[in-house]
Structure 1
Amino acid sequence: MHTIWKGTISFGLVNIPIKLHSATENKDIKLKNLHKECHSPVKYEKVCPVCEKDIAQEDMVKGYEYTKNKFVVLEQEDLEALKEENEEKAVDIIEFVKLEEIDPIYFDRSYYLSPNDGGTKAYALLRNALEETGKIGLAKITIRSKQHLAVVRIYHHTLIMETIYFPDEVRDFKEVPNVPEEPSIVEKELETAKLLIDQLTATFEPEKYHDDYRTALLALIEEKKQGEAVTTAKEPARKDNVTDLMQALEKSLSKSKTKKKKSTAKKSKTTKKSTSQKAKAN
Structure 2
Amino acid sequence: MHTMWKGTISFGLVNIPVKMHAATENKDVKLRQLHKECHSPIKYEKVCPNCDREVKQDEIVKAYEYAKNKFVILDDEEMEALRKEQEDKAVEIIDFVKLEEIDPIYFEKSYYLSPNEGGSKAYHLLRQALEDTGKIGVAKMMIRSKEQLAVIRVYKNVLVAETIHYPDEVRNVADVPNIPEETALDKKELDTAKLLIDQLTTAFEPEKYTDDYRNALLELIEQKKNKEQTATAKDAPKPENVANLMEALQASLEKAKKDKPKPKQPKRKKTASKKKATS
Q: Aligning the two structures, in what range does the TM-score lie when normalised by the shorter sequence?
A: 0.7 to 0.9
Q: Which runs of 5+ in 1 are unaligned?
A: 247-282
**1:164-175 → structure 2 map (5 Å cutoff):** 164-175=164-175
Once residues 84 and 217 of structure 1 are traced to their aligned partners in structure 2, the CA distance between those partners, rounded to angstroms, is 43
**1:178-257 → structure 2 map (5 Å cutoff):** 178-240=178-240
- Of stretches 134-143 and 181-190 in structure 1, the one that deviates more from structure 2 is 181-190
- Of stretches 219-228 and 177-186 in structure 1, the one that deviates more from structure 2 is 177-186
Shift of 1:63: 1.3
Paired residues of 1:150 and 1:161 also in contact (CA < 8 A): yes
SS of 2:204's equivalent?
coil
Q: Which amino acid aligns with 2:236?
A: P
**Which of 1 and 2 has greater Rg?**
2
Q: Which amino acid aligns with 2:120?
A: T
Q: Which runs of 5+ in 2 are unaligned?
A: 249-279
Shift of 1:43: 0.2
SS of 1:139's equivalent?
strand
Identity %: 65
**1:72-91 → structure 2 map (5 Å cutoff):** 72-91=72-91
Q: How many pairs were matched up?
A: 248
Once residues 42 and 191 of structure 1 are traced to their aligned partners in structure 2, the CA distance between those partners, rounded to angstroms, is 56
Shift of 1:244: 11
**1:1-282 → structure 2 map (5 Å cutoff):** 1-240=1-240
Per-residue displacement from partner, 1:131-167 (whole Å, max 9, x unpaired)? 1111111000001110000000110111111000000
CA RMSD of superposed structures (Å): 1.9
Shift of 1:235: 2.1
Q: Which amino acid aligns with 1:78?
A: E
Q: Which amino acid aligns with 1:109?
A: K
- Of stretches 87-96 and 127-136 in structure 1, the one that deviates more from structure 2 is 87-96
Query: When you count helix as a share of all residues, which structure comes out higher?
Result: 1
Paired residues of 1:108 and 1:162 also in contact (CA < 8 A): yes
Q: TM-score, normalised by structure 2?
A: 0.85
Per-residue displacement from partner, 1:198-217 (whole Å, max 9, x unpaired)? 11111110001100000000
Shift of 1:189: 0.8
Paired residues of 1:149 and 1:163 also in contact (CA < 8 A): yes
Paired residues of 1:137 and 1:151 also in contact (CA < 8 A): yes
What corresponds to 2:270 in structure 1? none
Q: TM-score, normalised by structure 1?
A: 0.84
Question: Structure 1 residues 187, 243: closer, same or farther in 2, change over 3 A?
Answer: farther
Shift of 1:88: 2.4
